[in-house]
Every structure is written in structure tokens, then in C-alpha cells.
Structure 1
Amino acid sequence: MRTTLTLDEQLAKDLQEYAHQNRLSFKDAVNQALSLGLKVMEQPVQPAPYKLKPSSMGRLHSGNNLNKALDLADLLENEAIVAKLEMRK
């Protein structure tokens, strides 16, 4: 089949260089590139596995029951309010 392609200038140069280095005609270089490109495009892209990097949340304060998150949140909120009130004095 015969067709006309409009290639980006750099792509055309790269194809010409590839054809020259591999002793191919420009036509064969284009056909190889298109064939390989289609094969890659047909393969589904596998996303990289999700990785979570753990980080320290600080030292555990004794006396805090971490099983009761709402109690801990209340405690921390109360401590923050007290600290703000202390700064106003």
C-alpha cells in the first residue's frame, strides 16, 4: 500500500539515521518502527504497584489508649486549647 506521511522533522532525521546505521531503506525503517509501535500499543499498560513508605508518627505517650481514636482526638484537641489559653495569659 502506498501512502503519504507527514513526519516531525526530528523523527524523520532519527528514522533516516536508523535506516543508515542498519543498512535499511527508509521505507523499511518506517515499516519496522510502525510495526513495533503497534505491538507496544496493543499491550495493556501495567500500572506500577502501589507502594506506601511508612513514616513515624512520633513516640507513643503512655496512658493513651490508641484503640479509642476519638478519645485520643479529644484529648489532643483539649491539650491544644489549653496551650492556646495559656499563651494568652
Structure 2
Amino acid sequence: MRFPLVQRYDLRVQTTITLTAAAEHAVRTLMADRGLSFEEAINAAILESENLAPFETPVHRLGESRVSLDRALAIADELADESIAS
């Protein structure tokens, strides 16, 4: 009896990441709370982030502008130049 050749691939990928102090603290807290290894905590955090609600910014109607915005960038440049010169 012959069995077909089955190929297995190890999907583990090793890489180096740099965490901010806040991110490391969050991972270490997750490790302590759930009894996870560092690797398991990183994977859990990544997978849980997929379930977050999308970030939305409220939009407010500001009405008509009180000044002409045709030259807004030019005026901003002039004001910046004046502040540098003073």
C-alpha cells in the first residue's frame, strides 16, 4: 500500500519587533492576567484587534465660512513668515 506524499509547512515565522513601553506593558499585563507566554499574548492582542469597532469621528456642520478661503494657504504662509520675522 502506498501513501501519497503529504507536504507540511511550518507556518511559524520568526521576526523581531520593537514595542513601545506602553505596548510592552499591555502585553505583560495580558500575560499576567491570562497566564500566557509572550508570544501567545502578542498573537492574542493582534487577533482581538480585528474585532474592534471601526473608529469614527463625529462630523459637525460649521456653516458658511466668514472669510474667503481662495487665498487661505497664501495667508497662512504670510502669517508664518511674520511670526518667524518677529
Which of the five TM-score ranges fits, normalised by the shorter chain? 0.3 to 0.5
Bigger relative contact order (CA 8 A; separation at least 6): 2
- Structure with more of its chain in helix, by fraction: 1
TM-score by length of 1: 0.42
Structure index of larger Rg: 1
TM-score by length of 2: 0.44
